[in-house]
Amino acid sequence: MTATAPPARTADVELRERILRLKQERRAVILAHNYQLGEVQDVADFVGDSLELSRQAAAAEVEVIVFCGVHFMAETAAILSPRRTVLLPDPEAGCPLADCATAEQVRARRAELPGVPAVCYVNTSAAVKAECDLCCTSANAARVVESLEQDRVLFLPDRNLGAWVQSQTAKQVILWPGACLTHLYVQARDIERLRREHPEAEVMVHPECTPDVIALADHVLSTGGMVRMAREGAAPTLIVGTEVGIIHRLQKEAPDKRFVPASRRIVCPNMKKITLEKVLWALEDMRPRVTVAEEIRVRALGSIERMLAVR
Ligand code: SF4
């Protein structure tokens, strides 16, 4: 007699139970970025944006942080929680935007711009954060730039977020030639078509989108801002211009609303490298670990702390 394979849903439930059991044994917290697969979000203790998650992890009474996201996010958790073990379930989950700036490149550019402060987006390596004066998120980038005394600011690595900041400030924002390839899939013509198809909808896009897309949006928001808009906004339908993984979160937050992705192609292949199996293996093997050399960590932490001091 041939054995029948268990239905996929049963296998998922078993996997989930094993993860939750091992999580207790290891005294671990599981964090999932808003762009993670739905089943990974559902097994996490916290779902959110990278900095919000790292701050939650720093405040939690745990020994292990399993970061379901990409490499710079796990590094940020390691910067804020140096005594904890930080696991990234797939070591290949990187961020092509963060890779657009290396520490050497930042040092070289800063040498060309004496006296000009450098603000780096949180989507950068720890080594790049260590080379910059302040870090920022997509939610506070304009405020961070405005907080500086100088009239010129080097902003890296995302040129689209930098251009958005430029539209919000009288300071001169010197851009870096980097971009998120995933957000380039949000196209102005798709927004125009979706507006015609959903006349009741409002459009919210992430500031990593290109300026022509941003010009068509009703709201330009970080992922945290999108979650708030889903909960509190009046529109019954929202067209969403960011990575499609966030739709899972938005639908849970506001089950009565309709969320339409600006394109089905806005999928970050790196975010999708984390699976439930890899989360389990990471907890079983206690690796892959992400660490940051202490000399870099201390300087990178300074750039994050100076951001947190901005009101
Ligand atoms: Fe990096 Fe873009 Fe993927 Fe976010 S969506 S992790 S910025 S490549």
Cα 180 to ligand 1 centre (Å): 6
Cα 268 to ligand 1 centre (Å): 6
User: CA 88, CA 194: separation in Å to the nearest integer?
Assistant: 36
Give pLDDT tens digits for 239-258: 999 999 999 999 999 999 99
Among 95, 156, 246, residue to substitute to test ligand 1 (most atoms within 8 Å of Cβ): 95
Q: Which atom of ligand 1 is nearest to the CA of 96?
A: 8
Closest Cα to residue 78, out of 102, 97, 50?
A: 50
User: Among residues of the chain, what percentage have pLDDT more than 90?
Assistant: 92
Q: Which atom of ligand 1 is nearest to the CA of 70?
A: 6
Residue whose CA is closest, atom 6 of ligand 1? Answer: 95
- The response to whether residue 179 sits with its C-beta less than 6 Å from ligand 1 reads no
Query: How does the average pLDDT of the chain come out, rounded?
Result: 95
pLDDT at 2: 43
Q: What is the identity of the amino acid at 303?
A: S
Confidence class of residue 57 from pLDDT cuts 50, 70 and 90? confident
Round the CA-based radius of gyration of the chain to a whole number and report it: 20
Residue whose CA is closest, atom 3 of ligand 1? Answer: 268
Q: What is the identity of the amino acid at 106?
A: V
- The response to whether residue 274 sits with its C-beta less than 6 Å from ligand 1 reads no
Average pLDDT over residues 21-44: 97
Residue 1 has pLDDT above 60, yes or no: no
- The response to whether residue 70 sits with its C-beta less than 6 Å from ligand 1 reads yes
Residue 55 has pLDDT above 90, yes or no: no
- The response to whether residue 244 sits with its C-beta less than 6 Å from ligand 1 reads no
Cα 157 to ligand 1 centre (Å): 12
Residue whose CA is closest, atom 2 of ligand 1? Answer: 180
User: CA 47, CA 33: separation in Å to the nearest integer?
Assistant: 6
Rounded to the nearest 10 degrees, what angle do helices 50-59 and 71-80 cross at? 30
Q: What is the identity of the amino acid at 304?
A: I
- The response to whether residue 95 sits with its C-beta less than 6 Å from ligand 1 reads yes
Residue 37 has pLDDT above 70, yes or no: yes
- The response to whether residue 180 sits with its C-beta less than 6 Å from ligand 1 reads yes
Q: What is the identity of the amino acid at 77?
A: A
Domains of the chain, by residue range, sit at 11-94+272-292, 98-179, 183-261
Give pLDDT tens digits for 95-138: 999 999 999 999 999 999 999 999 999 999 999 999 999 999 99
Beta bridge partners of 279: none
Structure tokens at 102: 């290396």
pLDDT at 10: 78
User: Among residues of the chain, what percentage have pLDDT more than 70?
Assistant: 97
pLDDT at 98: 98
Structure tokens at 70: 């990409």
Lowest model confidence (mean pLDDT) among 7-16, 171-180, 239-248: 7-16
Cα 95 to ligand 1 centre (Å): 5
Confidence class of residue 92 from pLDDT cuts 50, 70 and 90? very high
Cα 4 to ligand 1 centre (Å): 40
Distances in Å between the Cα of 276 and the Cα atoms of 44, 244, 264, 267 are 10, 18, 23, 18
Task: Give the homologous superfamily in CATH for domain 183-261.
Answer: NadA-like (3.40.50.10800)
Task: Give the homologous superfamily in CATH for domain 98-179.
Answer: NadA-like (3.40.50.10800)
pLDDT at 11: 79
User: CA 299, CA 133: separation in Å to the nearest integer?
Assistant: 9
Give pLDDT tens digits for 198-244: 999 999 999 999 999 999 999 999 999 999 999 999 999 999 999 99
Residue 6 has pLDDT above 80, yes or no: no
98 within 8 A of 157, measured Cβ to Cβ: yes
- Three-state SS sequence of the chain: CCCCCCCHHHHHHHHHHHHHHHHHHHCEEEEEECCCCHHHHHHCCEEECHHHHHHHHHHCCCCEEEEECCHHHHHHHHHHCCCCEEECCCCCCCCCCHHHCCHHHHHHHHHHCCCCCEEEECCCCHHHHHHCCEEECCCCHHHHHHCCCCCEEEEECEHHHHHHHHCCCCCEEECCCECCCCHHHCCHHHHHHHHHHCCCCEEEECCCCCHHHHCCCCEECCHHHHHHHHHHCCCCEEEEECCCCHHHHHHHHCCCCEEEECCCCCCCCCHHHCCHHHHHHHHHHCCCECCCCHHHHHHHHHHHHHHHCCC
Half-sphere exposure of 170 (CA within 13 A, CB side): 2
Global confidence as pTM? 0.94
Average pLDDT over residues 260-288: 97
Cα 124 to ligand 1 centre (Å): 11
Task: Give the homologous superfamily in CATH for domain 11-94+272-292.
Answer: NadA-like (3.40.50.10800)
- The response to whether residue 270 sits with its C-beta less than 6 Å from ligand 1 reads yes
Confidence class of residue 288 from pLDDT cuts 50, 70 and 90? very high
Give pLDDT tens digits for 135-172: 999 999 999 999 999 999 999 999 999 999 999 999 99
Confidence class of residue 93 from pLDDT cuts 50, 70 and 90? very high
User: CA 304, CA 119: separation in Å to the nearest integer?
Assistant: 10
57 within 8 A of 32, measured Cβ to Cβ: no
